[in-house]
Amino acid sequence: MIPLHSHPSGRHFLQIPGPSNVPDRVLRAIDNVTIDHRGPEFGELGRAVLSGMKKVFKTESHVIIYPASGTGAWEAALVNALSPGDKVLMAETGHFATLWKKMAVKLGLEVEFMDGDWRHGADADKVKARLQADTEHAIKAVCVVHNETATGVTSNIPAIRKAIDAAKHPALLMVDTISSLGSIDYRHDEWGVDVTVSGSQKGLMLPPGLSFNAVSAKALAASESARLPRSYWDWKEMIAINAKGYFPYTPATNLLYGLYEALDMLFSEGLDNVFARHDRFGEATRRAVRAWGLEILCKNPAEYSSVLTAVIMPEGHSADAFRKTVLTHFNMSLGQGLSKLSDKVFRIGHLGDLNDLTLCGTLAGIEMGLDKAGVPHRKGGVQAAMDYLAGSAAAPAVKAA
């Protein structure tokens, strides 16, 4: 018997940095009747979402959609392009970069993990120096997380590409955009990325369950000789049948309905407007944090994330206890600190289906929570954010009919 609990009034504020809030339009689309995934109607849906995802990744090459979480897309990237014993260069930017590294080791790859302090993005100069030293070209791929969800730190992908080119090194560039795609400007083709990994549950405003690989011609060529075992993740089988909008095995039909609707929302707003909106929300949140007298985990302003802000708790105070207070009293979920940041930070998600008023409500819940939990802080964080939002440009609100 499932225990019954009282239901608090109002909606729950899900302000973790993913899964993000799913818009009602997307939920209604997912609720559609399931259709024959071999029939003509599904073929039209498949072609539409595959074409739409190319626009989001900004690529003319192939995008592959898997019924999986982002972790599946990590594995697909590695097993399609690499062979047992291949050396991979990875940057330690946070918890999720570390998990990708652990996966690579389990798959039989040799990983060189460039140390990081979890407060900065990947160092392009270090990448360049390491690749220049690799005169035998033993390193087959460079793997970087674009937006580290655990820390609120972004890495400069064009700078990493420039470093690889300056070293005249043939390594593939693989990039994780699981928490940045659809929220932060990203350009697969223009930035010379070979494999881009992503997932459905963050900027794309869907529930978890879909993952993606955007694949360059160079990566496809590498897959022809790659020898890591693959079946479910095989790019070749997917690409062959995707041409007609179908999949080699049963796809997540109803999530694809949701993806179609989410893509329509993103394109209707305009991707540049979506990115500008996230930039505004990131800046407003950081102004609130500074006004409270708290410290932002990300050290370099050039690497601030527009998706989330990780906040360091004052010495002697528990981030988890604070988060529990906010959940109990204000029905709002904030992101926890992960692994080495456990109980030391809380994370504010400001991505996806979000507007100015939702963000202000989020920040109000945090400010009230700081007071309720007895966390030392100054008042006025919400006001600082409101002043910024009111004075900065925003897309005009849609008028009610």
Domain final residue pick, 218, 239, 267: 267
Tell me: the pLDDT tens digits for 136-170? 999 999 999 999 999 999 999 999 999 999 999 99
Is 347 annotated for ligand binding? yes
Is 6 part of any domain? no
Q: Is residue 31 part of a domain?
A: yes
What is the residue-averaged pLDDT of the chain? Answer: 96
Whole-structure pTM value: 0.95
Please report the pLDDT score of residue 9 as a whole number.
Answer: 85
Domain boundary among 234, 267, 300: 267
Q: HEC states along the chain?
A: CCCCCCCCCCCCEEECCCCCCCCHHHHHHHCCCCCCCCCHHHHHHHHHHHHHHHHHHCCCCEEEEECCCHHHHHHHHHHHHCCCCCEEEEECCCHHHHHHHHHHHHCCCEEEEECCCCCCCCCHHHHHHHHHHCCCCCEEEEEEECEECCCCEECCHHHHHHHHHHCCCCCEEEEECCCCCCCCCCCCCCCCCCEEEEECCCCCCCCCCCEEEEECHHHHHHHCCCCCCCCCCCHHHHHHHHCCCCCCCCCCHHHHHHHHHHHHHHHHHCHHHHHHHHHHHHHHHHHHHHHHCCEECCCCHHHECCCEEEEECCCCCCHHHHHHHHHHHHCEEEEECCHHHCCCEEEEECCCCCCHHHHHHHHHHHHHHHHHCCCCCCCCHHHHHHHHHHHCCCCCCCCCC
CB 226 within 8 A of CB 80: yes
**227-254 residue pLDDT tens:** 999 999 999 999 999 999 999 999 999 9
Cα(107)–Cα(288) distance, integer angstroms: 43
CATH number at residue 289: 3.90.1150.10
Q: Is residue 1 part of a domain?
A: no
User: Is 171 in the same domain as 82?
Assistant: yes
pLDDT of residue 17: 97
Number of structural domains found in the chain: 2
pLDDT reported for residue 398: 53
The C-alpha atoms of residue 347 and residue 370 are separated, in whole angstroms, by: 14
Residue 302 domain-assigned (yes or no): yes
Choose one of 241, 267, 293: the last residue of a domain.
267
Asked if residue 297 and residue 239 are part of one domain, the reply reads no
Q: Would 98 be classed as within a structural domain?
A: yes
Q: What is the pLDDT of residues 278-324, one digit of tens each?
A: 999 999 999 999 999 999 999 999 999 999 999 999 999 999 999 99
Query: If pLDDT is split at 50, 70 and 90, which confidence band does 8 have?
Result: confident
> Are 256 and 279 part of one and the same domain?
no
Same domain, 179 and 258: yes
Same domain, 66 and 197: yes
Residue 4 within any structural domain of the chain: no
193 and 309 assigned to the same domain? no
- Whether 261 is covered by a domain: the verdict is yes
Judge whether residue 335 has pLDDT over 70: yes
Contact (CB, 8 A) for 322 and 328 = no
Please give the average per-residue pLDDT across 359-388, as a whole number. Answer: 98
Provide the CATH number for the domain around residue 29.
3.40.640.10
Say yes or no: 206 and 327 in one domain.
no
Residues 330 and 202 in one domain: no
- The arithmetic mean of pLDDT across residues 213-237, rounded, is 98
- For residues 98-127, give the mean pLDDT: 98
Query: Does 323 share its domain with 278?
Result: yes
Supply the pLDDT for residue 400. Answer: 42
Residues 156 and 245 placed together within one structural domain of the fold: yes
Residue 277 located in a structural domain: yes
Same domain, 334 and 203: no
Smallest Cα–Cα separation from 156: which of 120, 105, 204, 121? Answer: 121
At 235 the pLDDT is 98
Domain that holds residue 387: 13-19+270-391
Q: Which two tokens stand for residue 121?
A: 């993005």
For residues 102 and 65, membership in a common domain is answered with: yes
